[in-house]
Amino acid sequence: MGTSVHDGDCGTITDMPDLSFGVYVLPRDPEHGQDLALRMEDTEFDTAWIGDTLGDWRQRSAPLLDPWITLGALATETENLELGMMVTNLAWRDPVQVARFAMSVDRLCHGRFTLGLGCGQVDDQVMAGPDVLTMAARERVDRLAGGTAVIDRLLRGDLSAFHGEFTHYDGAAMAPGPVQQPRPPLLIAGNGPRVIRLAADLADTWNTYVDADVDAFYDATVTRVAALEAHLASSGRDPQTLTRSLLVLDDAADVWGDDQTLPELVERFTPLGFTEFIMYPPPADQWRRIDAMASSVIPQLRG
């Protein structure tokens, strides 16, 4: 079923594709990620996402379990909830290893997995080592581009020799291969022009995130979407084949505090083609708000 939203720029009603809603899970302890994902199972929420970081960059001393191991556990504990990595950082992750991880999680969850890729930010990768901290932005994007190509070919079953700028192998093993064919969906996150072009070329989803100033972010996103659509047009790709995804940081908007904030974001960004909305969770002692949103707000947005 499509969703109708008001287009504030032209005053018309626009029929949009189906909307998708997810929560960004922070696996603080053995129960936290599992309990939150199970709470979302069989509700109006579609996806639980986990970020691949070596620690919580805002709370260095806070507990945080390894995301890939946690995804493996969630894959076997859930049955219907989609799972996603948001995102793994190819500035320091080996793409061959990431492809193996992604294949394994896709197998364990029977094809409910989306692999998110990015090139990271300096302030959230302190523990990755000095080479990452001093890495130039251009090299970060180069590694993302080269690593995405490696992951794409391996997950599609191309195991022939590869010799790129950062990755080299004479052969690869990927048996038994992913459940989803020709490969699990790829999400590429980032706002720079090269990353946006890379998403248009290789990804199934382009993701961006709402930061503290929503109005300024919206204006910048209008420009980025125009660049994305221009590249899609020049390459001959159907825009409908690339999902647009929005991660709402908890310091940008409190989507859990009332029943209006999320609908307002959806109304504002769906005319730009965004159909996937991902939120940071509320505090653990307020998880009842997840139930309320799943039972009332999201069904209304879906019409």
* Domain region containing 125: 3-302
Model confidence pLDDT, tens digit, residues 191-232 = 999 999 999 999 999 999 987 789 999 999 999 999 999 999
Residue 27's pLDDT is 83
pLDDT digits (tens, 9 = 90+) for 159-187: 999 999 999 999 899 999 999 999 999 99
Domain total in the chain: 1
Question: Alpha-carbon distance 282 to 288, whole Å?
Answer: 9
d(CA 179, CA 110): 6
pLDDT in tens, 214-225: 999 999 999 999
Tell me which residue of 86, 47, 45 sits closest to 186, measured CA to CA: 86
| Spatial separation of the C-alpha atoms in residues 247 and 207, rounded to whole Å | 7
What integer pLDDT is reported at residue 6 of this predicted model? 41
Write down the pLDDT at residue 29. 73
Q: DSSP letter string over 128-171? A: G-HHHHT--HHHHHHHHHHHHHHHHHHHTT--S-EE-SS-EES-
Per-position b or e across 110-149, b if 16+ CB within 10 A of its CB: eebbbbbbbbbeeebbeebeeebeebeeebbbbbbbbbbb
DSSP 19: P
Backbone angles phi, psi at 199, to 5 degrees: -60, -40
- β-strands 205-210, 20-25: how paired? unpaired
Please write the tens of the pLDDT for every residue from 260-293. 999 999 999 999 999 999 999 988 888 899 999 9
- Span 23-46, pLDDT tens digits: 998 887 766 678 889 999 999 999
CATH of the domain at 188: 3.20.20.30
DSSP one-letter code for 56: -
